[in-house]
């Protein structure tokens, strides 16, 4: 891949950040409304969160094809294809809402989820084009784009909820189809060098050798359990608040501040990683998730949900960006696509299982069981990062 100058790299990272902002707004909208629309359309209310599961399931299944397509045809064309998939999925979901067909709505959610696999690769595209000393900051800058989605996605949901009554949320999904059209236009301005012929021919080490590295294992665990726990609690929260008879506007606001917590720290997460290292940031993220779980178990008032979900967002940010930064240390340029693909497949496979279990846990065992079930996974990821941190310090400073 041809290197960009620092100035060109910064310009392109900013464009990627804007694309991330708009693309993730559609994702946030789909996740915010998926369980609520599912509850309206599904005969079996235990399946209410299944549309969210289809979103992340589609993401998980598309991660490897998305990475391989980008390796062959380049990031830019890959991102444009992702936009087209998002448009199709949103329109099919809108049709499902219009005719009141639960399974057609789920199909649209699944197709849209495939587009999210491309969106997740914005962070790796930023790392690829940035100089070595800017990689963690470039990842963080792109994730800042998600801050816009913290407000835009839920605000779209709130203001379009009844726009085309009696079909609640129909207008919301039509707007979700319009956002990737705008992203398509913006992507025409981005410059991302395509892989060279020699890079395409070079295969690098076998994948088995790469995943045996402790750094890969800890990075994958941070992404899997950081994202999985976040999705588990976030998916259940709007339904839990509805069960507790809190108004829809309050649930939308809680999700809004949650997504704010997910992305606002990105203004400084990259600098924190550059200064303290990815492992310390992953450990801090795990600790914040433990505090989140404690708050979630302490009551069911709106403030409990809001504080818990805000902490959950910040914890996710530290674990996810920290894991991404750590992952970039374990592969060589020729190995980037297959390593990134496997990592994201593991992450979103875990997220799919979490969202599937979320609705069933809430329906059968109540809200308290949801955060309590997340605790072991947070501890596993945090302790794994702590172990690797101690191992590396022991190598640097032997007794």
CATH number of 6-396: 1.20.1250.20
Instruction: Tell me what pLDDT residue 74 has.
Output: 86
Instruction: Inform me whether the pLDDT recorded for 216 exceeds 80.
Output: yes
CA-CA distance, 175 to 161, in Å (whole number)?
11
Tokens of 3: 């290197």
Instruction: Tell me what pLDDT residue 380 has.
Output: 96
Q: Can you tell me the mean pLDDT for 144-148?
A: 77
The alpha carbons of the chain give a radius of gyration, in whole angstroms, of 20
Residues 243-257: pLDDT tens digits? 888 887 888 788 888
Q: Can you tell me the mean pLDDT for 167-188?
A: 92
- Per DSSP (E only), the strands in the chain are none
Question: 385 vs 207, which has greater pLDDT?
Answer: 385
Instruction: Tell me what pLDDT residue 195 has.
Output: 66
Say if CB 93 and CB 26 are below 8 A apart: no
Confidence of residue 398 (pLDDT cuts 50, 70, 90): low
Question: 194 vs 8, which has greater pLDDT?
Answer: 8
Say if CB 289 and CB 374 are below 8 A apart: yes
- DSSP, collapsed to helix, strand or coil, labels residue 195 as coil
Q: Can you tell me the mean pLDDT for 342-353?
A: 88
Q: Which residue's entry shows tokens 């997220």?
A: 351
Q: What is the pTM of this model?
A: 0.77
Could you write out the DSSP letters of every residue in 263-304?
HTTHHHHHHHHHHH-HHHHHHHHHHHHHHHHHHHHT--SHHH
DSSP 244: T
Tokens of 88: 């199709």
- Residue 364 CB: number of other CB atoms within 10 A? 9
Q: Give the rounded distance of the alpha carbon of 285 from its chain centre.
A: 15
Confidence of residue 140 (pLDDT cuts 50, 70, 90): confident
Instruction: Tell me what pLDDT residue 246 has.
Output: 87
């Amino acid at each position: 891949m041809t290197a960009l100058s620092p100035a060109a790299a910064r310009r392109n990272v900013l464009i990627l950040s804007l694309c991330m902002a708009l693309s993730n707004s559609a994702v946030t909208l789909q996740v915010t409304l998926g369980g609520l629309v599912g509850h309206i359309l599904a005969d079996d209310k235990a399946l209410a969160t299944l549309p969210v599961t289809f979103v992340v399931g589609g993401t998980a299944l598309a991660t490897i094809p998305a990475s391989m397509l980008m390796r062959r045809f380049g990031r830019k064309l890959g991102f444009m294809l992702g936009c087209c998939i998002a448009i199709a999925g949103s329109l099919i979901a809108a049709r499902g809402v219009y005719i009141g067909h639960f399974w057609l709505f789920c199909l649209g959610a699944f197709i849209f989820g495939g587009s999210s696999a491309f969106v997740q690769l914005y962070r790796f595209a930023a790392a690829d084009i940035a100089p070595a000393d800017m990689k963690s900051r470039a990842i963080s800058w792109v994730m800042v784009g998600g801050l816009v989605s913290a407000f835009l996605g839920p605000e779209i949901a709130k203001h379009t909820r009844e726009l085309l009554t009696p079909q609640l949320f129909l207008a919301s999904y039509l707007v979700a189809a319009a956002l990737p059209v705008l992203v398509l236009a913006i992507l025409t301005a981005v410059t991302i060098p395509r892989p060279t012929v020699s890079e395409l021919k070079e295969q690098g080490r076998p994948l088995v050798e790469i995943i045996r590295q402790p750094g890969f294992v800890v990075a994958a665990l941070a992404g899997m359990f950081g994202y999985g726990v976040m999705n588990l609690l976030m998916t259940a929260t709007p339904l839990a608040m509805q069960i507790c008879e809190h108004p829809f506007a309050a649930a939308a606001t809680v999700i809004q501040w949650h997504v704010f917590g997910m992305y606002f720290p990105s203004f400084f997460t990259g600098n924190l990683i550059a200064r303290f290292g990815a492992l310390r940031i992953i450990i801090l993220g795990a600790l914040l998730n433990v505090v989140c779980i404690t708050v979630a178990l302490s009551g069911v008032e709106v403030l409990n949900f809001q504080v818990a979900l805000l902490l959950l967002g910040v914890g996710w940010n530290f674990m996810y960006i920290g894991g991404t930064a750590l992952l970039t240390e374990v592969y060589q340029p020729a190995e980037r696509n297959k390593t990134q693909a496997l990592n994201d497949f593991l992450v979103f496979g875990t997220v799919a299982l979490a969202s599937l279990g979320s609705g069933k846990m809430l329906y059968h065992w109540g809200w308290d069981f949801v955060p309590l079930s997340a605790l072991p996974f947070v501890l596993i990821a945090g302790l794994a990062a702590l172990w690797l941190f101690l191992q590396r310090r022991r190598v640097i400073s032997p007794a």
